[in-house]
Structure 1
Amino acid sequence: MSVWAMIRRWFDPAEVRSEGTTPDYRFSLANERTFLAWLRTALALVGGGLAVAQFLPGHRLRLVIAVSLFALGALVALRGVDHWSRSERAMRLGEALPPSRFPAILALVITLGATALLIATLV
């Protein structure tokens, strides 16, 4: 699937509904709640980036951490909408839900970021 087709599927509900059959609404609503949780996580990361940029003492590590949090927030938002779209498609086609390593990677990156923030705060 091309990147453009993937992005078009994110913004066109008719594109998602054009394949397969309608799943039980409870599953679609659960998928949507999961997507909204990804968006809350993305907003928290962006908010954390703003807090770091505003309140951490002014040195280079502050900029690195703030920009990293902004970028991670953007990545999480995009990953959330992509996962929602792929999961909805899989449910409609009766396929297994798509596996994802992203939550584990996100947890690792946040752990590394928290460690860097701790070091920056103590130094």
Structure 2
Amino acid sequence: MPPSTPPTDRRRFPRWVYRHGQEPDSRFTLANERTFLAWVRTALALVAAGVALEALALPLEPRLRLAASVLLLVLALVLPVAVWVRWGQTERAMRTGDPLPSAWISGLLAGGLLVVTALVLLALLVGP
């Protein structure tokens, strides 16, 4: 263990984050955690939207509606894992003084929602 790491860090999880560098300003750590929780909240909204789209049986072409619903649920499944990894990368970067990781998750979400919107629009135009 590096000498700059307090002994209490050995018990913190995940070790791949906390075994490196020094403790950053707690305001930055808490901001990183709030960002993580906001992404989790977004994932919950995606679950709600995916379930609602199919459960409400809106007058849309059924296969396109199902495809949009499944894509929303897949995004909701992938998002928490991706943001947990990004949380750890950001925390580790703050601890070591390295540059922060890129915001690729935003692009993933934007691309997924673009496809979902196109599917729903197409389903509206085609009709049931």
TM beyond 0.5: yes
Where does the alignment leave 5 or more consecutive residues of structure 1 unmatched? 1-11
Q: Deviations over 1:2-27 (max 9, x none)?
A: xxxxxxxxxx6251222110000000
Larger radius of gyration: 2
Q: Could you tell me how far apart the structure 1 residues matched to 2:44 and 2:52 are?
A: 12
Structure 2 letter corresponding to 1:107? A
Alignment equivalent of 2:99, drawn from 90, 96, 100: 96
Q: Could you tell me how far apart the structure 1 residues matched to 2:100 and 2:106 are?
A: 15
* Correspondence for 2:28: 27
Q: Could you tell me how far apart the structure 1 residues matched to 2:115 and 2:14 are?
A: 40
- How far apart are residue 60 of structure 1 and its match? 1.3
Alignment equivalent of 1:69, drawn from 72, 93, 102: 72
1:38 aligns with 2:32: no
* Correspondence for 1:13: 13
* Correspondence for 2:108: 105
Contact 2:43–2:79 (CA under 8 A) maintained in structure 1: yes
Q: Deviations over 1:52-77 (max 9, x none)?
A: 11123472112211111100111111
- How far apart are residue 30 of structure 1 and its match? 0.5
1:118 aligns with 2:121: yes
Higher helix proportion (structure 1 or 2): 1
Q: Deviations over 1:56-100 (max 9, x none)?
A: 347211221111110011111111111101101111111111113
Where does the alignment leave 5 or more consecutive residues of structure 2 unmatched? 1-11
* Correspondence for 2:5: none
Query: TM-score scaled to structure 2, two decimals?
Result: 0.79
Identity of aligned residues (%): 43
Q: Deviations over 1:27-72 (max 9, x none)?
A: 0000001001110111111110001111234721122111111001
Could you list the runs of 4 or more consecutive aligned residues of structure 1 that deviate by over 6 angstroms after TM superposition? none
Relative distance call for 1:49 and 1:14 in structure 2 (3 A) is: closer
Contact 2:65–2:119 (CA under 8 A) maintained in structure 1: no
